[in-house]
Amino acid sequence: MQPQALYDVLKDRRSINLRDLLPDPIEPTSLEQMLEAANWAPSHGHTEPWRFTVFVGEARRTLGEVLAEAYRLGTPAERFDAAAMAFTRARVLLAPVWISIGVEPDVVKKMPEWEEISAVAMAVHNMHLMACSLGLGCKWSSGATSRHPHVAQFLGLHPPAQLLGFLYVGKPAKAWPLGQRQPIADKVKWVLD
């Protein structure tokens, strides 16, 4: 790969909001490519701690029910909003694919937790880059409901495993957004001779 081609893929990666995705189905081969890209993330000790569950089609409705219950369980009575719970249930239908993001630490090798979580984040980044290269939009959703223990249990993630949220995937409904970054020189200190 030419360095410029790699740079272009990195520079063009975007997180696309849920409301900016089309509900059109995604080809299974695209999802498989994304998951294979995730599988090539580095992990200290070769623990490969990433765990994913893919929800498509009607399976999203079951996920919506689980997320709605997590909202109910995680919301104090004085802040509970029935409309918010209904939106939590229905929002999974706004994207054709939802992929849970879990970390399952290797209990034998006992790598530091931050390294295992970092490995999963790199796996998700690989998946996100592949999605963007395929013209698919996605975003990592990591709010309290997306990480609630009720949802983790539904997914079969039991401590010390953790649920880190969901990557939702779909075809963008709008033109690919432009990105902005502050100059790298503002974020780097050089120490020379």
3-class DSSP assignment, residue 165: strand
Tell me how far apart the alpha carbons of residues 177 and 124 are, in angstroms, rounded to a whole number: 20
Please say whether the structural domain 3-187 has been given the CATH code 3.30.70.360. no
pLDDT tens for each residue of 137-165: 999 999 999 999 999 999 999 999 999 99
Q: What are phi and psi of 134, to 5 degrees?
A: -90, 5
Tell me how far apart the alpha carbons of residues 50 and 38 are, in angstroms, rounded to a whole number: 8
**pLDDT above 90 covers what percent of the chain?**
92
Q: Which residue has the tokens 């079969």?
A: 156
pLDDT tens for each residue of 86-137: 999 999 999 999 999 999 998 888 899 999 999 999 999 999 999 999 999 9
The neighbouring-strand residues paired with 141 are: 166
Indicate the pTM of the whole model.
0.94
Ordered by start, the domain boundaries in the chain are: 3-187
Tell me how far apart the alpha carbons of residues 19 and 130 are, in angstroms, rounded to a whole number: 21
Burial class of 101 by CB neighbour count within 10 A (0 to 12, 13 to 18, 19+): buried
Q: What are phi and psi of 88, to 5 degrees?
A: -60, -40
Which of 175, 173, 145 lies closest to 70, judged by CA? 145
Tell me how far apart the alpha carbons of residues 45 and 30 are, in angstroms, rounded to a whole number: 29
